[in-house]
């Protein structure tokens, strides 16, 4: 693997700011500046355009590493990395429709991901936002987008909505607005249990205009086999999972530090690291954590090399996301248990990780969606036969 873009000193500086962002419910502005300077936001951009041309596998490992220091920073940056990874994948598959994303990312633009909507559990297959076609080929968008990570800093926001102007053939429209566009408002309403530095505010679209050249897809409502949708899905599931692998890795390191430094009166002052129960609890956490890397690395490598798994990609990728985020919670739980009451203090790093790790269950794919995909793969569609 190529060298990391972040050296240990940078990572420590980022780690050093995470507690303050969390306590103050503040955006990671200094991290963003430092990561921009390090070329972190250009990692998916091809070398010819001034980026580092990193593979999805490499970005995944960078995100695991960043998440060990600042999970919320890594999670929010996923949205930018995702769009640049999607543009890169499409370019490699011979589709230049998002090449401008790579050029603009090379110029320092920051991309955010405006998909989630209240009450829309169809995710990318349908939308409650209205996309109104304009005479010049552009669209105006009306609706509510929630959980908009990077809200204070994005300069390009993806929006997606449904155009019902032909009621017999409704379509889903994907496009990008610019920060200085009219017709949207950001409500500064992010106050979450964890992942606080993402500042994932609500955005109200009130006619925000996407010009024709920034409309990147118009697709039929429903699941789509378009490579654009596959690239979003694959990139999202893997990069989101990376954040939670990083959280588990850091929790384990903190738990090891804790049991080495604490002693047992009952055991005559021996370190807790000698206690057989503590050892086996930590070993279980380590065994679970160890499995996290291999599965994600293998999947990212398969996506990078264009393995044609067809419909099997959906259970594979959604299953991996669900497994990884579930396992991360188990790892953190075990680490908290062995680290003892100190980890329950609001200002302890482990207690922050215990809050951050909970967010994993809310990202797509949900447990329900992953189960549906796996059941369909194993059993085929529901037959509807019977009494």
Task: Let me know: does 52 contact 39? Beta carbons within 8 Å.
Answer: yes
Distance of closest approach, residue 79 Cβ to ligand FAD, in angstroms: 5
Distance of closest approach, residue 190 Cβ to ligand FAD, in angstroms: 9
Quick one: 236 or 338, whose CB is closer to ligand FAD? 236
Give the residue among 12, 15, 18, 19 at the shortest CA–CA distance from 347: 19
Question: Nearest residue by C-beta to ligand FAD?
Answer: 119
Distance of closest approach, residue 128 Cβ to ligand FAD, in angstroms: 8
Enter the tokens of residue 219: 């697709």
Binding site for ligand FAD (CB under 6 A): 75, 79, 112-116, 118-119, 121, 146-149, 195, 198, 200, 359, 362-364
Distance of closest approach, residue 225 Cβ to ligand FAD, in angstroms: 22
Give the residue among 337, 346, 327 at the shortest CA–CA distance from 254: 337
**CA–CA dist 240, 233 (Å, integer):** 11
Quick one: 131 or 195, whose CB is closer to ligand FAD? 195
**CA–CA dist 282, 259 (Å, integer):** 10
Quick one: 119 or 380, whose CB is closer to ligand FAD? 119
b/e per residue 23-54 (b: at least 16 CB within 10 A): eeeebbeebbebbeeeebbbbbbbeeeebbbb
**CA–CA dist 197, 62 (Å, integer):** 19
Quick one: 45 or 357, whose CB is closer to ligand FAD? 357
Host H or E run for residue 373: helix 367-379
Quick one: 79 or 282, whose CB is closer to ligand FAD? 79
What is the rounded (10 degree) CA torsion for 351, 353, 358, 362? Answer: 150
Enter the tokens of residue 91: 């370019």
Quick one: 258 or 327, whose CB is closer to ligand FAD? 327
Distance of closest approach, residue 68 Cβ to ligand FAD, in angstroms: 17
Quick one: 197 or 272, whose CB is closer to ligand FAD? 197
Distance of closest approach, residue 27 Cβ to ligand FAD, in angstroms: 13
Please state whether beta strands 111-114 and 156-163 pair in parallel, antiparallel, or not at all (unpaired): parallel
Quick one: 55 or 228, whose CB is closer to ligand FAD? 228
Please state whether beta strands 139-148 and 130-133 pair in parallel, antiparallel, or not at all (unpaired): antiparallel
Length of the chain: 387
3-state secondary structure of 210: strand
DSSP conformation class of 3 = P
Distance of closest approach, residue 365 Cβ to ligand FAD, in angstroms: 10
Distance of closest approach, residue 148 Cβ to ligand FAD, in angstroms: 5
Quick one: 199 or 351, whose CB is closer to ligand FAD? 199
Residue listed under structure tokens 């990202």:
363
Distance of closest approach, residue 232 Cβ to ligand FAD, in angstroms: 11
**CA–CA dist 83, 85 (Å, integer):** 5
């Amino acid at each position: 693997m190529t060298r990391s873009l972040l050296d240990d000193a940078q990572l420590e500086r980022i780690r050093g700011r995470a507690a303050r962002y969390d306590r103050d419910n503040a955006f990671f502005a200094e991290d963003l500046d430092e990561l921009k300077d390090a070329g972190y936001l250009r990692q998916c951009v091809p070398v010819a355009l001034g980026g580092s041309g990193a593979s999805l596998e490499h970005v995944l490992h960078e995100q695991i590493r960043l998440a060990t220091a600042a999970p919320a920073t890594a999670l929010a940056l996923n949205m930018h990395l995702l769009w640049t990874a999607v543009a890169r994948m499409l370019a490699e598959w011979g589709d230049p429709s998002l090449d401008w994303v790579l050029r603009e990312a090379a110029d320092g633009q920051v991309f955010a991901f405006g998909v989630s909507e209240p009450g829309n559990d169809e995710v990318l297959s349908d939308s409650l936002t209205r996309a109104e076609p304009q005479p010049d080929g552009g669209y105006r968008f009306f609706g509510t987008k929630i959980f908009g990570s990077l809200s204070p800093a994005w300069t390009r926001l993806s929006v997606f909505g449904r155009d019902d102007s032909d009621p017999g053939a409704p379509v889903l429209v994907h496009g990008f607005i610019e920060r200085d566009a009219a017709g949207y408002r950001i409500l500064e309403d992010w106050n979450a249990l964890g992942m606080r530095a993402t500042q994932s505010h609500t955005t109200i679209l009130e006619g925000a205009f996407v010009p024709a050249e920034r409309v990147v897809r118009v697709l039929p409502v429903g699941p789509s086999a378009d490579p654009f949708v596959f690239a979003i899905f694959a990139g999202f599931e893997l990069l989101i999972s990376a954040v939670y692998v990083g959280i588990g890795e850091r929790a384990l390191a903190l738990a090891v530090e804790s049991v080495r430094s604490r002693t047992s009166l009952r055991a005559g002052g021996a370190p807790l690291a000698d206690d057989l129960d503590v050892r086996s609890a930590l070993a279980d956490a380590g065994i679970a954590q160890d499995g996290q890397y291999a599965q994600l690395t293998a999947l990212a490598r398969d996506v990078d090399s264009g393995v044609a798994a067809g419909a099997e990609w959906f259970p594979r990728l959604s299953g991996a996301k669900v497994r990884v985020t579930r396992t991360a919670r188990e790892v953190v739980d075990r680490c908290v248990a062995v680290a003892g009451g100190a980890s329950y203090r609001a200002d302890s790093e482990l207690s922050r990780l215990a809050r951050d790790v909970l967010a994993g269950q809310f990202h797509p794919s949900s447990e329900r969606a992953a189960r549906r995909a796996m059941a369909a793969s194993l059993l085929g569609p529901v037959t509807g036969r019977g009494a």
